[in-house]
Amino acid sequence: MNYDEVLSALMTLGAIPLNSEDSNFQKLVPACFAYAESRIYREPDLSFLATDATELVGLTALTAEVALPANVLSVRSIALSIKSSPLDPPVPGGNKRRIYPQRVSPEALDMIWPQPGFKPGPPKYYSIRGLRHPPVQSPDPLPPGTQPRQPVYTPESFALIARFAPAADRNYVGEVFGGIQALHLSENNPETYISLNYPELLIAASMVYITGYQRDYGAASDDPQRAVSWEAQYQTLKAGVAVEQAKLRGEGPGFTALSDANIAQQPRSP
């Protein structure tokens, strides 16, 4: 299902006018899909749905740190690629030799290699640390006699930094493999993996959110069982998706695509 189909189904189930007169609901639609898809991605039983992908970074010679892309949520491994030989032609995806530095803690990296710029070479270790950029408010300088402007405000931001040891002896292309923040369903992103393959799970999770918008969360609300019913439906669908994906990945008996067989009840011998 695409964005319009999912939204139409939610408005029908929630008894919300389809002519979009409910402006408050329209304002909550982005937050609704963010809640539903983020919850699905973070479910321990559905961790396989989280987007694992590769992002590229550039590690230049004589440097030991590189900022990871903002959409990287977790890092499983980092591969540094170089050509097999300086004389090899630049074939995309080929003629590369990958090295996989070992991940250690930031404290261990400081103990193993206390001097980041000492004897550059192929990186053997790396660590991940967070970097916080505090908010900045700075007015623009203006010539005398001009009207003052509003200060320029830069909100705080966070970044993941990969630090290597030893420092790179040449330019490397880093391939960061890990969890990537997926784009949520929206008008500009009308189809996602979940909306195409598990629309019923997306709708159930979204309805849990919508019942909160309609004040049906608590016992003093209009329909206290409504959110509970949708939550139960979501949990039932989630269990089915987990079994289906386990078979897809060959996690059944003997690493097959089969479900566990029911244990036969053997009659007791007299």
| CA–CA dist 45, 235 (Å, integer) | 11
Confidence of residue 84 (pLDDT cuts 50, 70, 90): very low
DSSP-derived pairing of the beta strands 136-138 and 125-133: unpaired
Q: In the chain, what are the domain boundaries?
A: 3-49+182-248, 52-179
Q: Does residue 20 carry a pLDDT above 70? A: no
Q: What is the pTM of this model?
A: 0.68
pLDDT, tens digit, 9 for 90 and up, residues 112-145: 887 766 789 899 999 999 888 888 777 655 665 6
| CA–CA dist 142, 148 (Å, integer) | 7
Tokens of 14: 């929630």
Contact predicate 124/166, CB 8 Å:
yes
Phi, psi of 250 (to 5 degrees): 70, 40
- Tell me the residue type at 247: K
